[in-house]
Amino acid sequence: MSGVPREPSAVHRAIVARIRAIPPGYVRTYGDVSPGAPRLAGHVLRAHAPDDLPWHRVVRADGSLAKGAWQRQALEEEGVPFLGDRVAMKAARLDALDAF
């Protein structure tokens, strides 16, 4: 079907799917959900983010948060370890566990 502006692109579905695949207590970076185009993930979460999408589990590569304390509290509720004002990526990042 042509003309389907309401339907998300394959890239959007891939990004959303990866975010939905993040289990509680862990986080992923924008680069991990959208390799090569990290800003796309941000736009998807800003405008195309479903209500059931755990966007709070998506953080920056350095562990810093995009939405500040609000997001931090949501992550701590799920058991995400923190180091100061940043997420303990070394322990909470899924890709990091793969190497471990």
Partner DNA sequence: GTGATGACGGAAA
Partner DNA sequence: CTTTCCGCCATCA
List residues bridging with 87 in a β-sheet: 82
Match 């995400």 to its residue by tokens.
80
- Among positions 20-79, residues that touch DNA (CB under 7 A) are 29-31, 36-43, 45-49, 55-56, 58, 60-62, 66-67, 71
The token duo for 51 is 């209500």
- Any contact of residue 9 with DNA (CB under 7 A)? yes
- Any contact of residue 87 with DNA (CB under 7 A)? no
- Any contact of residue 11 with DNA (CB under 7 A)? yes
Contacts of 81 (CB under 8 A, 6+ apart): 87, 88, 91, 92
Residues that bind DNA (CB under 7 A): 9, 11, 29-31, 36-43, 45-49, 55-56, 58, 60-62, 66-67, 71
